[in-house]
Structure 1
Amino acid sequence: MANYPVMGRISSYVALGDSFTEGLEDPADHGFRGWADRLAEHIEAGQPGLRYANLAVRGRLMDEVLAEQVPQAVAMRPDLVSLCAGGNDILRPGSGPAQVARSLEQGVRRLREAGAQVMLFTGFDLRQVPVMRMAHHKIEIYNLHIHDIARRHDAHLVDLWPMRVLRDLRAWNPDRLHLNSDGHRRVALAAAETLGLPVAEDWRQPYPDRRPPMWTDARYEDLRWAKNHLYPWISRRLHGRSSGDGVSPKRPGLTPLR
Structure 2
Amino acid sequence: MEMNANYTSFVAVGDSFTEGMSDLLPDGSYRGWADLLAARLAARTPGFRYANLAVRGKLMSQILDEQVGVAAAMAPDVVTLVGGGNDALRPKCDMGRVRGLLEEAVERLAPSCKHLVLMHTPGRDGPVMERFRPRMEELFAFVDELAVRHNALVVDLYGERPLGDQRLWDVDRLHLTAEGHRRVAEAVWQALGQAAEDDWRAGLPAAVPVRWLTRRASDVRFARQHLGPWVMRRITGRSTGDGRLPKRPELLAYEAPGQAGDGPSGLS
Q: What's the TM-score once normalised by structure 1's chain length?
A: 0.92
Q: How does 1:70-81 map to 2 (within 5 A)?
A: 70-81=68-79
**1:24-78 Cα distance to aligned partner (Å, 9 max, x none):** 1111247111000001112122233210000000010000000010111111111
Q: Distance in 1 between matches of 2:47 and 2:148?
A: 30
Residue number in structure 2 paired with 1:57: 55
> Out of 186, 190, 203, which is 1:193 matched to?
190
Alpha-carbon contact 1:16-1:54 (below 8 Å) kept: yes
Amino acid at match of 1:184: H
Greater shift after overlay, 179-188 or 112-121? 112-121
Q: Distance in 2 between matches of 1:175 and 1:211?
A: 20
5+ unaligned residues in a row in structure 1: which ranges? Answer: none
Amino acid at match of 1:130: P
Q: Distance in 2 between matches of 1:148 and 1:70?
A: 19
- Post-superposition offset of 1:233: 0.4
Q: Distance in 2 between matches of 1:96 and 1:216?
A: 39
Say whether residues 1:224 and 2:202 are aligned partners.
Answer: no
Q: Distance in 2 between matches of 1:152 and 1:185?
A: 29
Q: Distance in 1 between matches of 2:96 and 2:114?
A: 24
Give structure 1 regions of 4+ aligned residues with deviation exceeding 4 angstroms: 4-8
Residue number in structure 2 paired with 1:121: 119
Greater shift after overlay, 156-165 or 95-104? 95-104
Alpha-carbon contact 1:40-1:52 (below 8 Å) kept: yes
Residue number in structure 2 paired with 1:145: 142
Q: How does 1:76-87 map to 2 (within 5 A)?
A: 76-87=74-85
Q: Distance in 1 between matches of 2:183 and 2:96?
A: 29
Q: What's the TM-score once normalised by structure 2's chain length?
A: 0.89
Say whether residues 1:169 and 2:166 are aligned partners.
Answer: yes
Say whether residues 1:207 and 2:193 are aligned partners.
Answer: no
- Post-superposition offset of 1:5: 5.7
SS of residue matched to 2:184: helix
Greater shift after overlay, 245-254 or 110-119? 110-119
Residue number in structure 1 paired with 2:8: 11
**1:74-123 Cα distance to aligned partner (Å, 9 max, x none):** 11111111000101000012213343122111111111222442100113
Q: Distance in 2 between matches of 1:239 and 1:179?
A: 25
Alpha-carbon contact 2:119-2:154 (below 8 Å) kept: yes
5+ unaligned residues in a row in structure 2: which ranges? Answer: 256-268
Alpha-carbon contact 2:6-2:44 (below 8 Å) kept: no
Cα 1:87–1:50 shift into 2, 3 Å: same
Residue number in structure 2 paired with 1:88: 86
SS of residue matched to 1:226: helix
Alpha-carbon contact 1:42-1:197 (below 8 Å) kept: no
Greater shift after overlay, 184-193 or 98-107? 98-107
Count of residue pairs brought into register by the alignment: 254
Q: Distance in 1 between matches of 2:79 and 2:58?
A: 17
Greater shift after overlay, 101-110 or 57-66? 101-110
Cα 1:47–1:7 shift into 2, 3 Å: same
- Post-superposition offset of 1:220: 3.1
The percent identity for this pair of structures is 45
Greater shift after overlay, 215-224 or 229-238? 215-224
